[in-house]
Amino acid sequence: MSYRIKYLALALLLSILLSSCTGASQPTNEPSPLPPIPTSTPSQTIFHLDRSALAYGIFETEATSLTIVVSNTAPGQFKDFTDISIEDASGVTTYEVQSGESTIVHAMPAGKKRVTVTSGLQTKFRNRITGVFINKITFNEPAVRIAQEGKRILVYGDSLAVGGNVDDVSAEAWPVLLRKHFSVSVDAYGYRTLYDDASTVEARSEFAARIASRGPDRIWLAIGANDYAFEQWSAQQFGQTYAATLDAIHSSNSQALLFAQSPILRADESPNVFGDTLEKYRQQIATACLARPAWCRFVNGTNPAFPRPDELDQDGIHLTTKSSAKYAEAVLNIIGK
């Protein structure tokens, strides 16, 4: 038996050697594999921002080009304040945005870097919220969106909270400046009043729920100047609703600390049709907040740490680039670095 196995093994080896020498190959039904296709085309990465004022995104990437599709629905009188900003390794670049939809292509230095894209202001016009909205962000290489660390601040307010009259709204509005230290979202637009959000129980509840959905640790309330100026209700009516709004916000997000800031000083604070000066609206804010000391901190907007009338724009109401920086510093010192 041993001899026969050895003989068969030798015969099989001889058959293989002969097949190799004559160039014979085993038949196959499998097609020959194609050579790999070069992958030299860079892969794009697409992101979207939310529709809030001064919305922003922070990204890490090695991309060298960034394409942004942006729409501007703000009325023509705001054309000097419609911009977006991009910060990369080379610094901050601000682009003016034309009316309608347009595309902006931004070149960036090579290498890994952090990129921040910020949309623009919003304002009410004919009972519609208009402004500068970023519709799509496309990197020409892979990119990753990252969350900003630190306290989550939400700023609620009017035109001063979206920059007022600063040169470059998307880069110099005081909430944007605070982003050097905090994660800051903005719920604000020009001409806004508390009346817009809280004149009924249902409206207050919906407003408070929207604020809570952003998950803030701190809520900065900077509202009331337009309630006085637009003469929608008296200081007493305003104060009653302001107090109810504080309660609604606290009920929706009991963990958040509220900062109730009274309006900053303006050049003209003469009585409105109700016979109320802006100071009376400030007093109502103070009364409402100080009655809730466990979770509300009153902030006196007339404090010299905030912009004074002679530091405002020529209209005596809105901020300049310099006074916006002062405003940001005042808020930073109160919330804590």
Per-residue pLDDT reduced to its tens digit, 174-204: 999 999 999 999 999 999 999 999 999 999 9
Does the pLDDT value for residue 36 go beyond 80? no
Q: What share of the chain is helix, strand, coil (3-state, %, to 5)?
A: 35, 25, 40
Mean pLDDT, all residues of the chain: 90
In CATH, the number for domain 41-147 is 2.60.120.260
**Contacts (Cβ under 8 Å, ≥6 apart) of 170:** 54, 83, 84, 85, 94, 118, 119, 120, 121, 132, 163, 176
Q: What is the pTM of this model?
A: 0.86
Confidence grade of residue 209 (pLDDT, cut at 50, 70, 90): very high
CATH level 3 topology of 148-337 = Rossmann fold (3.40.50)
Q: Whole-angstrom Cα distance, residue 73 to residue 70?
A: 10
Confidence grade of residue 12 (pLDDT, cut at 50, 70, 90): very low
- Predicted confidence at residue 1, as pLDDT, reads 43
Domain with CATH 2.60.120.260 in the chain: 41-147
Determine what percent of the chain is predicted with pLDDT higher than 90.
86
Query: Does residue 161 or residue 26 have the better pLDDT?
Result: 161
- Predicted confidence at residue 54, as pLDDT, reads 98
Q: Whole-angstrom Cα distance, residue 191 to residue 127?
A: 10
Confidence grade of residue 23 (pLDDT, cut at 50, 70, 90): very low
Domain with CATH 3.40.50.1110 in the chain: 148-337
Q: What is the pLDDT of residues 244-255, one digit of tens each?
A: 999 999 999 999
Asked if residue 278 lies in contact with residue 269, where contact means CB atoms within 8 angstroms, the answer is yes
- Predicted confidence at residue 89, as pLDDT, reads 95
CA distances 210 to 43, 125, 191, 200, 238, Å, are: 36, 22, 20, 15, 21
Confidence grade of residue 337 (pLDDT, cut at 50, 70, 90): low
Does the pLDDT value for residue 40 go beyond 80? no
Q: What is the pLDDT of residues 108-164, one digit of tens each?
A: 999 999 999 999 999 999 999 999 999 999 999 999 999 998 899 999 999 999 999
CA distances 221 to 74, 238, 320, Å, are: 24, 14, 20
Q: What is the pLDDT of residues 53-101, one digit of tens each?
A: 999 999 999 999 999 999 999 999 999 999 999 999 999 999 999 999 9
Among 38-42, 51-55, 232-236, the range scoring the smallest mean pLDDT is 38-42
In the chain, where do the E strands start and end?
A: 45-47, 56-61, 65-72, 83-88, 91-96, 100-107, 113-118, 122-125, 128-139, 143-146, 152-157, 183-188, 218-222, 257-261, 296-299
Does the pLDDT value for residue 13 go beyond 50? no
Confidence grade of residue 2 (pLDDT, cut at 50, 70, 90): very low
